[in-house]
Structure 1
Amino acid sequence: MREIVTIQVGGFANFIGSHFWNFQDEMLGLDSYGDPLFKTESLNMDVLYRTGESPQGTRTYTPRLLSIDFQGSLGSMSSQGTLYNEGSNASSEVVTWAGNISTQASEPQKKNLFLQSLYQEEQNAPMGNDSNGGTKGAQNEIQDTDIVECLNKGVQFWTDFSKVHYHPQSLYEVNGLWMDGKQFDNYGVGRDVFTENLRGEEICNRLRFFVEECDHIQGFKFIVDDSGGFSPVAADFLESIADEYTNTPVLLYAVRSPGSLMNLRSRKQTVVRDLHDAVSFSRLSSFCKMIVPVGLPFLSTSKASTFLNIEDENPYHCSAVYAAALHSTSLPFRMEPLGPTAETSDASGALDVNGLVQMLAGQSRQNMVAILDVAMPAPSMRGKQDEHSLLQNLQPLTPEVAEDVDDLQAVESMTVHGAIVTEGQRASISEVKNAVNAEYQNATTRPMFCHLSVAGCPLPIPLPFPSIFGNLVGQHGELLGSPISGSISRGSLDVHSIPMAARLRSSCAILPFLENRLGNLRKFGIQRGALGTDLLRSWGFGKDEVEDFGETLSKMVRTVDPHSEISSDSD
């Protein structure tokens, strides 16, 4: 067993995680129903999940997950999860006080239509009274439509669309901050959160719970919303992980929603944001083996959304795209190594976290920053000249990336799953490999090395997935020649699964991202008379620490491009 422990820190990270675990839950459900397209013999789901037993003796299968977010961010869900909290309400009587007691209690969050349907389904109750004498199937269909409409109109919490059961140790709420998410928006406000009030000790104990039951942990998959105060929380947590689990690699996805960049109305706000980005990236990258920046300023207008209809201001939308890409990149970590039945296997290209890190970061250039690309949906493998190829459809979800860069030292790890040859026909593993190899041979620029992982299982689209597909996407994710009439946005009732391709690459195309952070740190935090000197000092950073951040970023720039002008500037 090669287990992975997943850690989600911050609001947008948990939105992404909610979609990610919905994909896993949907795969497990379809496999249990015997759907041949979603059989998981070659995908070991125990890599991400743990088995257990509730106090009532019910066998449980829950994500090996630690989620960290604000107090109150769970909406109608209990911090104990949904499997272990029956009968756990403790008496509120205060036996040491003889006087009058006044209780102030807020109204609990009400379950939305989707969560109500989950509860009724688990209670084996009918979905509603069919007073018109209709069939149960018709009633379910109507309610599914209502559920999708309800979610598209109003998701407030990441738990509003989560269909997964969580272990009580998984959900940690940071209490006592006395501020909302809009105020928790820069590095300074989160500086001491991890160390105050024994929070760090509590969080580390929860992580230890999951790690100690692993047979042979292969790594941590860490997703952090680094756009605000949760970045220093994550950095301090990562530092403790590096001390306690020295030889366990951390694959870190630093994510942020488009909305985090939409409210910069003044010069001061811009300086605060630029310094936050530089400090955040420098510290986070210091405590992981590989860091992947994820989150475009305007996902809706990017090439990655060619076949999608995204609302940038809606985290429910944007997080679905990023979660789909993270699902694809995680598939090789749970693929079973090929054995004697390799020819009939439905997955190929197994890779563990350390193998990925060594491949992308352990090359001659030792670049520890990776770019994430996605093709959603992936085009067919038939290779018609009048259609875009797979490589042309792969577009970055990492911001500030240079296009059309010829990097002879680039290294890539690509995953393709659920690929289609023609409409209604899935591609075999060998057909995918041949098609991808042919594209690379004909490409004008090629990486030094590319590892390819292939799986037959497409990305399942669960009911609570947002309606973000355009009208050129068919029921099984095939790209159509002409648009479907009707709504321009299609969801889970119209699209049941899609082929996917995702790629992690180490390339000098990341250079603008790194140079921007180094340049801003020098301009606003290091140069004599810099505007942000006092701000950094208020965040708790002295001159020497800030210069260390600059050296960390400068080293990254020199590693990617030793001839870069900005990397050779004097500090």
Structure 2
Amino acid sequence: MKEILYIQAGSQANYIGTHFWNTQESYFTYEDEEAPATSHGISFREGLNKKGEPTFCPRLLAFDHKARFGTLSQANALFGMDDATDEQILWSATPVQYKQEPVRKSDYQTSMEGLDLDAGSPSSTVQLTDIQYWSDFNRMYYIPRTVQKVPDIPDWEDIEGNWAAGKETFARYNEDTDLMEGSLRLFLEECETIQGVQLMHDTSTFGSFVDSFLTSLRDDFVKLPLLAWPLLSDVLPSIEGVDDKRGRRKIINDALVLRSLSELSSMNIPIQSPTTWTDDVCRNTYLQANQAHAYHTSAILSALIETATLPLRLGAPKDDISDLCAQLSWRTALPFAELSGVFPRADTLDLEKRIYNFSTAGTLHATHTLAAAYSLPTSFPPFFSSGDSSLPLSGPSGLLSRPKSTSVFASIAATSRSGNLFSGYARFLEQCTRRKISMENAGIDFDEMGDLANDLWTLHDNAGGEMDDNSDTDMRGEDEE
């Protein structure tokens, strides 16, 4: 079967993942005869609900802090009652209870319970102001062990970029939940012939948590192929940022994540924060997206990632994760590549100049494959410019629309430009060392800073090798209408 186990950690990762799984769900009822011939068993596990009825649910571990799950519970209509049950109170005195107001369901979730949201009714349009959590536009049912609620952090603690705190959190969480020997192992043992793991995580909040997770994973599954999509923090390494204490910690944390993944993951495709994108990625002739809201930017990233990895989920896949990683690293041992693309791909004439590299910068040249149009379920943002004739309207004339499908251009490539990513972090670390900058909560001292910088320079050199800016692409996915 060549199954894939998916892991999402952090709010941005789960925003992207929610769009991804909503799209996978749409393939179950895709009306187009040219729909992608995906094999549902690759990404979904078949099981039974509490009534003994067969179900297909994502083969997924979704981590986030408890408060960020919104209304998503470990229990649901398929697998049991709500999990907000009263706990036994082991206390002899009369307790004083303080209860928070329950999280309100989004209008989309409420409407979905009573309406067919694929019927094109006005209520099927998700409003940006209605989205507070990534679960607010979720269309999937998950089995209980998918939902991994990491304890919340007190308001007075700043966890972003805190490497030491993340490792402590994982150790406590794994001990309390038996994560590695319980939920993880159960997913892996259910697979007939697993092709590997696809990981996506927020580096600023779950970087060291995932580092500890992967270290434990490698203890038992040394050769398991792993394709990682690290979502980098919103701070770029620059000399100007050396004196920014919070930003400095995020940059060092990102550097530690990149080194960790170079040792623990088979292939990594870093994604720059949407705050660093050029304006025309989100606002152009075809799109009017809010670059400051994760609901919109995650939709763009999900479409590109889903398209680029589509060959891994086909019914008769030519490539699996192991093959993809080997293709991307055939000229060098460096386990890093880049994602670039265009969303939506509405006009072939301006395609080349609209290609954006979401990992570094510039354009890429590659071979490509063709597939059916990218499906847009009702949970997808209605941020398409309705004035373009190639994008059919789903709403009143003059308003932004959401067509049922659109075309996407996405590419994964290994080029020498990845070297610039590592050299930027290496120079930043060297500058901090020269200036004797304090590394509070960074999980690293001055001596280790030098070692980390040297390791990043090694990655920089490996990225160069014999490759140049015109290196061949190893894989590309493209959806056509």
Q: TM-score, normalised by structure 1?
A: 0.73
CA contact (8 A) 1:294 1:397 kept: yes
Match of residue 44, structure 2, among 34, 40, 49: 49
Corresponding residue for residue 199 of structure 2: 222
Q: 1:253 offset after TM fit, Å?
A: 0.3
Describe how 1:466-545 pairs up with structure 2 within 5 A: 466-471=381-386, 473-474=388-389, 476=391, 486-487=398-399, 490-492=400-402, 495-525=403-433, 527=434, 529-532=435-438, 534-535=439-440, 538-545=441-448
Runs of 4+ in 1 over 6 A off after TM superposition: none
Q: 1:334 offset after TM fit, Å?
A: 1.5
Matched, 1:396 2:396: no
Corresponding residue for residue 360 of structure 1: 328
Q: 1:141 offset after TM fit, Å?
A: 2.1
Matched, 1:311 2:290: yes
Corresponding residue for residue 78 of structure 1: 73
Q: Cα deviation per residue 1:439-498 (whole Å; 9 max; x = unaligned)?
A: xxxxxxx66xx4x3332x2111111211222345446579xxxxx9723xx232xx1101
Describe how 1:95-494 pairs up with structure 2 within 5 A: 99-121=93-115, 141-144=121-124, 147-148=125-126, 151-175=127-151, 177-179=153-155, 183-188=158-163, 189-199=165-175, 202-204=178-180, 205-226=182-203, 228-256=204-232, 267-295=244-272, 296-299=274-277, 301-303=279-281, 306=284, 307-337=286-316, 350-361=318-329, 363-379=330-346, 387-389=349-351, 391-399=352-360, 401=361, 403=362, 450=367, 452-455=368-371, 457-471=372-386, 473-474=388-389, 476=391, 486-487=398-399, 490-492=400-402
Partner-residue secondary structure (3-state), 2:45? strand
Corresponding residue for residue 14 of structure 1: 14
Distance, in Å, in 1 between the alignment partners of 2:141 and 2:291 is 28
Q: Which amino acid aligns with 2:408?
A: M
Change (3 A) 1:282 1:179: farther
Matched, 1:36 2:46: no
Q: Which amino acid aligns with 1:166?
A: Y
Q: 1:554 offset after TM fit, Å?
A: 1.3
CA contact (8 A) 2:225 2:266 kept: yes
Q: 1:248 offset after TM fit, Å?
A: 1.0
Q: Cα deviation per residue 1:277-296 (whole Å; 9 max; x = unaligned)?
A: 22232223321011111134
Partner-residue secondary structure (3-state), 1:286? helix
Q: 1:196 offset after TM fit, Å?
A: 2.2
CA contact (8 A) 2:344 2:407 kept: yes
CA contact (8 A) 2:61 2:145 kept: yes
Structure 2 unaligned residues grouped into runs of 5+: 468-481
Structure 1 unaligned residues grouped into runs of 5+: 128-136, 338-348, 406-445, 479-483, 565-571
Distance, in Å, in 2 between the alignment partners of 1:259 and 1:15 is 20
Distance, in Å, in 1 between the alignment partners of 2:100 and 2:4 is 37
Distance, in Å, in 1 between the alignment partners of 2:190 and 2:419 is 40
Distance, in Å, in 1 between the alignment partners of 2:197 and 2:149 is 20
Q: Which amino acid aligns with 2:160?
A: D
Q: Cα deviation per residue 1:524-568 (whole Å; 9 max; x = unaligned)?
A: 14x4x4314x43xx444345543432232111111122699xxxx
Q: How many aligned residue pairs are there?
A: 457
Change (3 A) 1:259 1:518: closer
State which drifts further: 299-308 or 554-563: 299-308
Between structure 1 and structure 2, the one with the greater Rg is 1
Distance, in Å, in 2 between the alignment partners of 1:540 and 1:508 is 30
Change (3 A) 1:476 1:110: same
Distance, in Å, in 2 between the alignment partners of 1:260 and 1:55 is 48
Q: 1:167 offset after TM fit, Å?
A: 0.9
Change (3 A) 1:514 1:297: farther
Q: 1:511 offset after TM fit, Å?
A: 2.5
CA contact (8 A) 2:342 2:356 kept: yes
Partner-residue secondary structure (3-state), 2:159? coil
Change (3 A) 1:199 1:10: farther
Q: Cα deviation per residue 1:329-370 (whole Å; 9 max; x = unaligned)?
A: 221002233xxxxxxxxxxx7311010100011x23223211
Q: Which amino acid aligns with 1:388?
A: D
CA contact (8 A) 1:224 1:231 kept: yes
RMSD of aligned Cα (Å): 3.1
Distance, in Å, in 2 between the alignment partners of 1:58 and 1:404 is 49
Corresponding residue for residue 476 of structure 2: none
Partner-residue secondary structure (3-state), 1:468? coil
Q: Cα deviation per residue 1:153-186 (whole Å; 9 max; x = unaligned)?
A: 2311000011111110101011153248x82211
Distance, in Å, in 1 between the alignment partners of 2:128 and 2:87 is 38
Distance, in Å, in 1 between the alignment partners of 2:115 and 2:235 is 35
CA contact (8 A) 2:3 2:195 kept: yes
CA contact (8 A) 2:289 2:383 kept: yes
Corresponding residue for residue 449 of structure 2: 546
CA contact (8 A) 1:379 1:393 kept: no
Q: TM-score, normalised by structure 2?
A: 0.86
Corresponding residue for residue 471 of structure 2: none
Distance, in Å, in 2 between the alignment partners of 1:92 and 1:191 is 29
CA contact (8 A) 1:16 1:323 kept: yes
